[in-house]
Structure 1
Amino acid sequence: MRYIIIGAGAVGGSVGARLAEAGHDVVLVARGAQLTALREHGLRFHGPEGERTHRLPVVDGPDTLGELRPDDVLMLTVKTQDSEGALDTWGPAPVAGGGTAADHLPVVCLQNGVESPRIALRRFRRVYGVCVWLPCTYVEPGVVSAAGTPLTGILHLGRHPHGTDDTVRRIAADLESARFEAPVVPDVARWQYAKLLANLANAVEAVSGPLAGEEAQLLLERVRAEGESVLRAAGIPNASTTEQKEARGDKIRLVPLDGAVRGGGSSWQSLTRGTGTIEADYLNGEIVLLGRLHGVPTPLNELLQQLATTFARERRPAGSLPVAELVRRAEEAEQAVRAPGADRTAEDQPRS
């Protein structure tokens, strides 16, 4: 199997590097400064064992790569807001022997949130979801780091919307040969929704910095409680915190990496790179959507969604909103919902 990594950022670069180190055939797909850096200098991958440079094939799309092979696996690792564009580009690509990628090739969504597999299923016949637990960083073109040891990450995999098959078991075996644990599960969405609840904190970290101190922790508890309330109302099952802890155990220990600093998670990294976009619409925004569908107020997640997208659009520095100010705005948002006769719509929530 050849792995086409569509989005050679933190997750894509880490998975691609580890697969290549294990002897698997890997092609990286990138754009902009990352494309230039990878072509000119290779992928500089920082791990607990030191820095390695991987000279892998790098393309900007299927036209550059040429005809796809029947044994290719498309691994979608762009942020969810970029999924439609990537899938529309790769879906019509021809496959040797006839047909297109959308007809014949598996697409594996290694992304936060739950929306990308649904987007992919509109275009591709064979879609696989992944619950990604992979501490990794990409803030400098051409450089990716992953500080986990002895495992680099844990990736629960399954067919979307449910089930398993021989293809996902083969992919899991290749990942497990490359320093990942890759449990194959028939209910991968249950794990993805559990990870979604954890990822609601991404926006807090992105706009207000490291999640330290009692104020930040109390806010995070209320944000997560909103998400849990929404999932209950929607009847959506998710793996419990206890189940997640048991699955992870002490399999991944983070170690300091020489020359690499992990300043924050994926949303923090987007603001740090000044990309102009952020995935909050598919994290906090997923809870907001479900809340509106099922009549559950979500003032905190609405606020965080609005703040994060504003920070990204206006290219504000990551972590530049003081935690105390964020807490004040959160309290105002909650009070507005509790007020008698309040219209619980996004238009009434505080904006940045």
Structure 2
Amino acid sequence: MRYIIVGAGAVGGAIGGRLHEAGHDVVLVARGAHYEALRTDGLRLTTSTGTLALPVPVVDSPQAVTLRRGDVLVLAVKAQHTEAALREWAARPVTGERHGATAGETIPLVCAQNGVENERLALRRFGRVYGMCVVLPAAHLSAGTVVARCAPYTGALVLGRYPAGIDATARGIAADLESAHMLAPLAPEVMRWKYAKLLANLAQTVEALCGSAAEGAAAQVTEWARTEGTAVLKAAGLDRASPAEMAELRNGKVEGPAQPDGQQALGSSWQSLARKAGSIEADHINGEIVLLGRMYGVPTPVNETLTRLANTAALEGREPGELDADRLRELVAAAR
């Protein structure tokens, strides 16, 4: 299998870099300064054992790569960019298949992303969709570089077919990932894991806004957000992996810092603000809880407030951690 990694940021770069290092055929898809750096100097991937200089092939558009039978598309863009990426790739022709065959008809697509909407969007355009619950602390703050220092595995990637099941393709992908310093358990109900990760990720918006989600006022806001999230998932009848299952997946397997030397690099939402990306995943993280709350009659004022504040921070180019945690708690408490 050849892996086309659509979105070579923290997660995509780490997965693609590790697969390339292990001898697998990989093409990274990147844009702008990141693409130029990868094309000129290759990927600089820092792991628990040092920094690797990896000459991974890179392209800057779907038109720059010829898809062929045996390819796997790995979607690793932020959730707010999923629809655009699916439009770009689904209609691409595939060589080695029947005349006129497209990627959407013949190429498997893996959603290596946060949130739970990506797979549903993908299934509209791709016949074979796979969910991936990504536990891979990594950082991408500068062009051409990715830091993923966890050990003994670089990440834990729970994989299964969407909406449910395990097939030969999933087994092949998992085997390749396991050969590349990744833990890749197969799960016939992969969305259970993604809903558990969704609850955990509610803290990312708090962290992006005030620089922490684990102490003092920030921890209080995180607890409120997760309490809402738990109530919403219960009302919706959505199963999720238990905290014990999530802990077992990670503890002793994916351990260690993900920070570059001399820099603080927190979660992906924090990194979006740090890179001045102009958008943030809050609509598909906290906003997912808001959506489900509205559908099932559960009030979600905490997550509504966090979504609004995060989107404003991204649009206005604010620095991560700029909002005082006590002030954040005041704003959220006023909305409850």
Bin the TM-score by the shorter chain: over 0.9
8 Å contact kept, 2:158–2:193: yes
8 Å contact kept, 1:3–1:75: yes
Tell me, what secondary structure is at the counterpart of 2:3?
Answer: strand
Residue-by-residue CA offset, 1:105-141 (whole Å, 9 max, x unaligned)? 0000000000110110000000000000000000111
8 Å contact kept, 1:137–1:262: no
Q: 2:189 aligns with which of 171, 180, 187?
A: 187
Summarize the Cα distance change of 1:256–1:25 in structure 2 as closer, same or farther, 3 Å threshold.
Answer: closer
Query: Could you say which residue in structure 2 is the equivalent of 1:344?
Result: none
In the alignment, the residues of structure 2 paired with residue 273 and residue 112 of structure 1 have an alpha-carbon distance, to the nearest angstrom, of: 18
Tell me, what secondary structure is at the counterpart of 1:73?
Answer: strand
Q: How many pairs align?
A: 333
Deviation of 1:255 (Å)? 4.2
Query: Could you say which residue in structure 2 is the equivalent of 1:49?
Result: 49
Query: Could you say which residue in structure 1 is the equivalent of 2:84?
Result: 85
Residue-by-residue CA offset, 1:191-217 (whole Å, 9 max, x unaligned)? 000000000011100110023422222
Flag structure 1 segments of 5+ consecutive residues without an equivalent.
335-352
Tell me, what secondary structure is at the counterpart of 1:191?
Answer: helix
Query: Could you say which residue in structure 2 is the equivalent of 1:222?
Result: 224
Which residue type is aligned with residue 282 of structure 2?
A
Which residue type is aligned with residue 234 of structure 2?
R
Query: Could you say which residue in structure 2 is the equivalent of 1:282?
Result: 284
In the alignment, the residues of structure 2 paired with residue 255 and residue 203 of structure 1 have an alpha-carbon distance, to the nearest angstrom, of: 20
Query: Could you say which residue in structure 1 is the equivalent of 2:35?
Result: 35
Query: Could you say which residue in structure 1 is the equivalent of 2:209?
Result: 207
8 Å contact kept, 2:133–2:197: yes
Query: Could you say which residue in structure 2 is the equivalent of 1:9?
Result: 9
Which residue type is aligned with residue 12 of structure 1?
G
Q: 2:164 aligns with which of 157, 162, 165?
A: 162
8 Å contact kept, 1:47–1:257: no
Pairing 1:1-352 to 2, within 5 Å after superposition:
1-65=1-65, 67-97=66-96, 98=98, 99-255=101-257, 259=261, 261-334=263-336
Deviation of 1:142 (Å)? 0.7
Which residue type is aligned with residue 10 of structure 1?
A
Deviation of 1:52 (Å)? 1.1
Deviation of 1:69 (Å)? 1.2
In the alignment, the residues of structure 2 paired with residue 149 and residue 31 of structure 1 have an alpha-carbon distance, to the nearest angstrom, of: 29
Deviation of 1:317 (Å)? 0.8
In the alignment, the residues of structure 1 paired with residue 166 and residue 264 of structure 2 have an alpha-carbon distance, to the nearest angstrom, of: 34
In the alignment, the residues of structure 1 paired with residue 2 and residue 22 of structure 2 have an alpha-carbon distance, to the nearest angstrom, of: 13
In the alignment, the residues of structure 1 paired with residue 37 and residue 182 of structure 2 have an alpha-carbon distance, to the nearest angstrom, of: 26
Mean CA deviation greater in 232-241 or 243-252: 243-252
Tell me, what secondary structure is at the counterpart of 1:267?
Answer: helix
In the alignment, the residues of structure 1 paired with residue 240 and residue 81 of structure 2 have an alpha-carbon distance, to the nearest angstrom, of: 25
CA RMSD for the aligned pairs? 1.2
Which residue type is aligned with residue 204 of structure 2?
N
Tell me, what secondary structure is at the counterpart of 1:122?
Answer: helix
8 Å contact kept, 1:46–1:257: no
Deviation of 1:260 (Å)? 6.4
8 Å contact kept, 1:33–1:141: yes
Deviation of 1:180 (Å)? 0.8
Summarize the Cα distance change of 1:260–1:128 in structure 2 as closer, same or farther, 3 Å threshold.
Answer: farther
Flag structure 2 segments of 5+ consecutive residues without an equivalent.
none
Residue-by-residue CA offset, 1:65-117 (whole Å, 9 max, x unaligned)? 1x211010000000011111111111111111330110100000000000110
8 Å contact kept, 1:50–1:257: no
The percent of aligned pairs where both chains have the same amino acid is 54
Deviation of 1:246 (Å)? 2.0
In the alignment, the residues of structure 1 paired with residue 77 and residue 262 of structure 2 have an alpha-carbon distance, to the nearest angstrom, of: 22
Which residue type is aligned with residue 32 of structure 1?
G
